[in-house]
Amino acid sequence: MLIDTHCHLNFKDFKEDADMVIKRTLENDVQLINVGAEWRTSQRAIEYAEKYTSGVWAVVGLHPIHLFNSPNVLPEENYIEKLNYKKYLQLAQNKKVVAIGEVGLDYHHFDKKLGEEEILKIKKKQKEVFKEFIRLANEVKKPIAIHCWDAYNDLLEILKENLVKRRGVVHSFIGNYKTAEKFIELGFKIGLNGIVTYTESYDKLIKEIGLKNIILETDAPYLTPSPLERYSRNEPINVRYTAKKIADVLKIDIKEVEKQTTDNARKLFTL
C-alpha cells in the first residue's frame, strides 16, 4: 500500500470526477491526503475526507502565493486571502485533518517589476502568516506540510526559532542534501514526487536522504511523473512511478519502498 501524502483532488481540475478518481485510487491500494491552498479548498479537502470511512484525509492551510498578487501564476491561482486564524482553527480541529498546510514561503513567483522594498514587504507578510500557522499547528497538536520555493534559508531560520512540536514535511523538496540534512536534523521528513523521475539529477539526493526520511506524494494535478505525458493531469495512483524510481536508484524492491515510506507517512500524520 502506498500513500500519496500531498495531492489536490480538491482543486478545480477534478471538479467533474474527484470521487471517481478517489475510488480508483483506493481500489489500487493507494491512500491519499488532499491538501488545501486557501480556505475554500481546505474546506473542500475536509468534505472529501468525510465522505470516506478510511484512506482519505485532509490538510488545511493558506498557501503563500495567496498572500500577494503575482502575474507569474495561473489566473485561478491569483487569488488573495487575508488570514483568519479562527476560521482555520475551526477547520484544523476536524478529526480528518492530519496536518496544517500547505503553508510556507514562496519567493519564486514575485513580479519581476517589483522593487526591493515591496519584495521585502511580501516576504515579511509570508513569514508572519507562516508563523501564525506554526502557532495553529501547535495549538491543535498536528504536524505541518510546508511549501517552500527559493526560500530554504529563511524557512530554516523560522523553524529553528519556532518549534513545530509535531514536526512535519518539506513537500516537493528540490534542494541539495546539505539543505535536506538541516530539515532532517530538525525532525522533518522530505516529500518527493514526480520531479525526481524527470532526470537523474536527484538520484544522488535520494541515496543521501535515505528511505527513512522520505515520504511520497504526487502534487496532483501537477508534476506528472515520467514516463507519463508531462503536462497531462496527474493523479494519486501515479505515486507508484516515484516509488519505482526510488527503488531503482536504491537498487531495492519496490515493496521495500512502499513499506518504509508508508510507515513514515503513518507515523508523521498519525494515520
Asked whether the beta carbons of 233 and 219 are under 8 A apart, the reply is no
Cβ of residue 11: shortest distance to Zn ion, in angstroms?
9
Cβ of residue 160: shortest distance to Zn ion, in angstroms?
24
Cβ of residue 265: shortest distance to Zn ion, in angstroms?
16
Q: What residues between 112 and 151 interact with Zn ion by CB under 5 A?
A: none
Residue nearest to Zn ion (CB): 219
| Residue nearer to Zn ion on the CB measure, 219 or 235 | 219
| Residue nearer to Zn ion on the CB measure, 102 or 258 | 102
Q: Check residue 38 for interaction with Zn ion (CB under 5 A).
A: no
Residue 58 pairs with which residues in a beta bridge?
A: 34, 97
| Residue nearer to Zn ion on the CB measure, 106 or 219 | 219
Cβ of residue 189: shortest distance to Zn ion, in angstroms?
15
CA distance 80 to 176: 31
CA distance 6 to 234: 12
Residue 197: CB atoms within 10 Å: 21
Judged by CB under 5 A, how many residues of this single chain contact Zn ion?
1
| Residue nearer to Zn ion on the CB measure, 155 or 247 | 155
Peptide bond into 221 cis (omega under 30): yes
Cβ of residue 233: shortest distance to Zn ion, in angstroms?
14
Provide DSSP, 3-26.
EEEEE-TTSGGGTTTHHHHHHHHH
CA distance 124 to 213: 30
What 3 state SS string does 188-235 have? CEEEECCHHHHCCCCHHHHHHHCHHHEEECCCCCCCCCCCCCCCCCCC
Q: What residues between 202 and 221 interact with Zn ion by CB under 5 A?
A: 219
Cβ of residue 30: shortest distance to Zn ion, in angstroms?
17
| Residue nearer to Zn ion on the CB measure, 219 or 258 | 219
- Kindly write out the interface string for residues 167-206 of this chain, putting x where it contacts Zn ion by CB under 5 A and - elsewhere: ----------------------------------------
The residue ranges that bind Zn ion (CB under 5 A) are 219
